[in-house]
Amino acid sequence: MPVTDEDAALTAIATLEYLSTEQAEALDAINKTLSNDEPSVDIHELFGHYNVLYFRHLLVPRVEVIWSPRLTLCAGICELSKDPTTGKFTRIRLKMSTPLLQYREKSDTINTLLHEAIHAYFFITTSWRHSRGDDGTGHGVGFQLLADAINNHGNYEITIYHTFHDEVESYRTHVWQCNGPCRNIPPYFGLVKRSMNRPPGKSDTWWARHETECGGTYTKIQEPAPTKKQIEAMSKKERAGRQKNKLDGWVKMEKGTGAEGKTSENPIELDKDRTSVIKSNGKRKAKTIAVDGFVKSHTVNLKRSRATVERTMYGSTVLVEKVLVDCPICSARIAESEINEHLDLVHPA
């Protein structure tokens, strides 16, 4: 009769009642590792000790433990390797997620390691039937029995599922939105989020049902910024297409205005005073007041008034601004720049 998960669990639990010398030494080594102040642990060293203490020396060397930088949907997985010639499972690999565990407390790493080690133990002891256990997920009665026994023995917190939702969500940066009816249906609202750039398609188990019930098309609406390696692999044209126009950052447009020119809706009245800027050969600007070519008589009562004179410079005509002031002696209207000369010549001391 084949061994079940429950049978294998009870056998392992029985070894914890009276520890052997090797188990006691492994326990001491584990306690030293857990009591130090290091923020991380050596999972390979710990795995060797747990193999002796909890798993009856059955995991090493058949089980390989590695860190995986690409594992982002769960903290750890127990992966089976199949011999391509015989089609039989021959090796087990425990993958620990670098992205999800590297910044968490070391207790999370240890609990994840033990969780996956339990799966590996059952695969070995049940002749690979563990994945087809009583609950279909491998977390049936046998798993729960052994997990509870290890938790009680070493004060661990092995759970059935790894619940690192925030970390998992942070890596699901490729997002597609469906334009069909399902975009209005909770809880997903037509969104598919993934950590890798794999668009929704026929390889998804739910795709056929989606085609029948919704029929919408998925469009990618979000993706992470390319890595340095990806940018270097781009052609010059592709890189140029990703660059932002720097002028957009230099030019600040006022709200409600555009880049196009604007003209006044008011007509120009030539018989009235007006202010303008006239450019001469791109070299000179002068702010002027045109008063029909001369100063009007009603400006005599002003202390300071403005007049314009016509002057030729650089082969073109410009209007140059002059400020008029009252002579303190004769009250004549004299250009401010000429008042001193007027006093010297007309009113000598």
- 97 - beta bridge partners? 68
Tally of CB atoms within 10 A around 297? 7
232 is catalytic: no
pLDDT band at 80 (very low <50, low <70, confident <90, very high): confident
* DSSP letter assigned to residue 57: T
pLDDT band at 276 (very low <50, low <70, confident <90, very high): very low
Helix (H, G, I), strand (E, B) or coil at 304: strand
* Separation CA 101–CA 110 (nearest Å): 10
Residues 166-214: pLDDT tens digits? 555 555 667 888 998 988 887 777 888 776 788 888 888 888 888 888 9
Residue 96 host element (H or E): strand 89-97
Say which residue the tokens 């002028």 belong to: 247
Confidence (pLDDT) at 92: 92
Number of residues that this document lists for the chain: 349
The C-alpha angle with vertex 131 and arms to 125 and 134, in degrees rounded to 5, equals: 95
Confidence (pLDDT) at 172: 60
pLDDT band at 242 (very low <50, low <70, confident <90, very high): low
Confidence (pLDDT) at 309: 47
Helix (H, G, I), strand (E, B) or coil at 283: coil
Q: Letter for the amino acid at 283?
A: K
Higher pLDDT, 305 or 117: 117
Lowest mean pLDDT among 201-215, 305-319, 320-334: 305-319
Q: Is the pLDDT of residue 136 over 50?
A: yes
Query: What mean pLDDT value characterizes the chain?
Result: 76
Confidence (pLDDT) at 166: 54
Higher pLDDT, 23 or 302: 23
Distances, alpha carbon 68 to alpha carbons 11, 77, 94, 207, in Å: 31, 10, 9, 28
pTM of the model: 0.53
Q: Does residue 73 contact residue 168 with C-beta atoms inside 8 Å?
A: yes
Q: What are phi and psi of 126, to 5 degrees?
A: -105, 15
From the candidates 6, 38, 105, 116, give the one annotated as an active-site residue: 116
Q: Letter for the amino acid at 303?
A: K
* Separation CA 341–CA 339 (nearest Å): 5
Lowest mean pLDDT among 90-94, 102-106, 313-317: 313-317
